[in-house]
Chain A
Amino acid sequence: MLLTRRNLMQTALTLGAMHAFPGLTWAQARPLVFATFTGSWEEAHRAVLVPAFRKATGNADMVLDPMLSVDQIAKVNAARSNPPIDVMLHDPGPALQAVAQDLVEPYPVEKSAYYKDLIPAAQVPMGPAPFFQVVGITYNPETVKTPPTSWADLWRPEFKGRVGITNLNSTLGTGFMVELAKMHGGSEANIDPAFKAIEALRPSLAAVAANPGQLATLFQQGQIDISPGNFNAIQILKARGVPVEFVIPKEGAIAFKTTIHIVKNSPNRELAFKLIEAALSPEVQATLMEEPYLIVPTNTKVAIKGELAKTLAKDHAEIAKKFVFQDWAKINEQRSAWIERFNREIRV
């Protein structure tokens, strides 16, 4: 073959383009892409779930592409016929949106080895829940001498100017509002009592964080002493030596199932199924339950142990009793109106 200058240039350009846009070479077969959440979820999945998946598939190629639920939906929506993600992870609100927008496939339940072992709340045909997130009360044990026992304790006069909450952009913020509504005679359909309660909480508020992650910083800085908080986020803070404790209020912990879905039109359907199977398996869930991850399992074959048994619930029966699941289909109907209202009423 004769190497002309033109020839050489073409080859160089092609190689350069392939280097600059690796997507070009993935057109036929790209690795499985799992959009997990950022932060500690990514760490946990990289350390435990990915190795389990590799073992189950004989070292199949996969990448983690951590991003927020809303970004996952936006990305898949932008390229429905050739989605850049194969497996999505969602909080309950976005999960229903993804299903409503026809972005996910039903989970092949009859093929699954583990689906039937999940607790009933986790058995979702459009995408099962591999774990729960739990929201309770977080407080600083150095300044709060009597541990809080109820959501109503946030309104106690000694916490004037010491309470932190988040706005409704997050699942945590919205779930907290629904819980408040329920405490004061409202429901997912009637949020009014929650807004009244927040109005009464105003003098106590030291901060309305723009996202739940910010609450962590506020505890660290001594800006707040008490707030609703995510169990897993609090464990990370605790591990870093920040004085925080987590309690489940007597009304019960607000629990969210985090569901995992196969994206519609995914070119890696089979691998996606295997990844989800790995996430549901008792081995992976048992490892993720241990320190430092402390992720709440949904597989009934996993016996609850350690810190989880101490702070949350000693078995799955107690989980069913202590965890309050909310009706996110109802919540989604009005959530945008609530966010608007929160914007207006809480603004200084």
Chain B
Amino acid sequence: MAATLRDVTTYDLKLAAPLAAGFVLFFVTPLAILLALSFQTDPQGGHYGLTQYVNFLGDRFSLGVLGSTLWLGVKVTALTLLLGYPVAWLHQRSPGWARGLIMLLVLLPLLTSVVVRTFAWVVILGRQGIVNATLAWLGLIDTPLKLLYTDGGVVVALAQVQMPLMVLPIVTALGRIDPNFADASSVLGAGHWRTFRKVILPLSLPGIVAGCLLTYAAAITAFITQSLIGGGQMLFMPMYIYQQASTLQNWPFAAAISIVFLVSVLVVVSIFNALGRLSRGYANA
């Protein structure tokens, strides 16, 4: 009998064919072209070799740009997690109407474009911006502080711009935790802090990992925010690629640094994924 029943737990792979075809056509193919381009030794084409990669990897300055971009992602992710987790936690602990309000506040930034949000930060961080005006009014400073075009400015602006990407997965993860666990923990004598550290935090780790992954990827590739808040004296990978491809028309080098960037990001992503797997084991233990 059982053999004649259709297995409803698996789906026909053919259903995924349109998406797969689109994926191959619009993602895999360009990526292959990009890879081929990166092996050209000069913009005019003709010769192939590893020149572009040697140029990038043998150059202190280029490696510095890559390093500072990856490090920027770490700082932004850390700050977003630090500020985002309490928001998600508050959302979980609030009554129904407040939940809606918090969710609206979290989602609100997503409803305006990144350019608008970034320009708002230009206004906030400028010499006559809100921060400097407030500090001057309180008499704490005489001359305006330089906030725009600083590393700190970029990190803060990116953290705000990418905040929803961190909060939403954590909200979902926290929502899946059975509230009885926390009660059980406190019945067994654990305080709030211990309950949080030993029960809530480990169980929400999958959400944290997903949020960090999204925030990190979005932060290091945020061309607009990086260049508007960072200015011309800070160079990150997206601007470096744009400059080589667009201004200098040096497509092979631009392709090579794109590939190097992609591989570095993949490495970071696999680290996050490994952490994610670990955390699942931890949560189920």
Contact = CB atoms under 8 A, between A and B. Distances in A.
Given A166-B232, A222-B127, A207 B149 contact: yes
A208 interface: yes
B41 to A, nearest CB: 16
B153 to A, nearest CB: 12
Contacts of B249: 70, 73-74, 97
Contact of B248 (A206, A207, A208, A339): A339
A336 B234 contact: no
B128 A222 contact: yes
Interface residues of B, number: 27
Contact of A210 (B129, B231, B250): B231
6 contacts: A68-B246, A74-B249, A208-B149, A210-B228, A210-B232, A347-B235
Given A223-B148, A346-B232, A74 B127 contact: no
Contacts of B243: 169, 339, 343
Interface centre among B123, B127, B232 (most CB of A within 10 A): B232
Contact of B234 (A74, A214, A222, A348): A348
A167 B240 CA distance: 13
Contacts of A207: 148-149, 231-232
A59 to B, nearest CB: 36
A9 B129 CA distance: 60
A217 interface: yes
B227 interface: yes
B228 A70 contact: no
A166 B247 CA distance: 14
Nearest to B247: A169
A191 to B, nearest CB: 16
Contacts of B233: 208, 346-348
A206 B127 CA distance: 10
Interface in A23-75: 68, 70-71, 73-74
A221 B232 contact: no
- Nearest first, the 10 closest Cβ-Cβ pairs linking A and B are A208-B232, A167-B232, A221-B126, A222-B128, A210-B227, A70-B246, A336-B248, A208-B233, A169-B247, A348-B233
A214 B231 CA distance: 9
Given A73-B249, A169-B247, A217 B122 contact: yes
A343 B61 contact: yes
A217 B148 contact: no
B272 interface: no
A97 B250 CA distance: 12
How big is the A interface, by class?
20 to 34
A221 B250 contact: no
Given A74-B249, A222-B128, 13 more contacts: A165-B232, A166-B232, A167-B232, A206-B127, A207-B232, A208-B232, A210-B239, A217-B119, A217-B122, A222-B127, A339-B243, A343-B240, A347-B233
Contacts of B228: 210, 214
Given A221-B122, A222-B127, A347 B231 contact: no
A169 B231 CA distance: 13
A156 interface: no
Contacts of A222: 126-128
Interface string B143-155: 0001011000000
A145 interface: no
Nearest to B148: A223
A339 B228 CA distance: 19
A344 interface: yes
A336 B227 CA distance: 20
Given A210-B239, A336-B250, A339-B243, A223 B234 contact: no
Contacts of A343: 61, 235, 240, 243
Nearest to A174: B247
A209 interface: yes
Interface in B116-145: 119, 122-123, 126-129
A20 to B, nearest CB: 14
Contacts of B248: 335-336, 339
Contacts of B126: 221-223
Nearest to A208: B232
B235 A339 contact: no
A223 B247 contact: no
Interface string A331-348: 000011001000110111
Interface centre among B123, B247, B250 (most CB of A within 10 A): B247
Nearest to B123: A221
Interface in B230-266: 230-235, 239-240, 243, 246-250
B198 to A, nearest CB: 44
A206 B132 CA distance: 15
Interface in A201-238: 206-210, 214, 217, 221-223
A223 B148 CA distance: 9
Interface in B82-127: 119, 122-123, 126-127
A196 to B, nearest CB: 18
A339 B129 CA distance: 31
B2 to A, nearest CB: 39
Contacts of A344: 61
B127 A71 contact: no
Nearest to A337: B248
Given A70-B249, A344-B61, A221 B149 contact: no
Interface in B207-240: 227-228, 230-235, 239-240
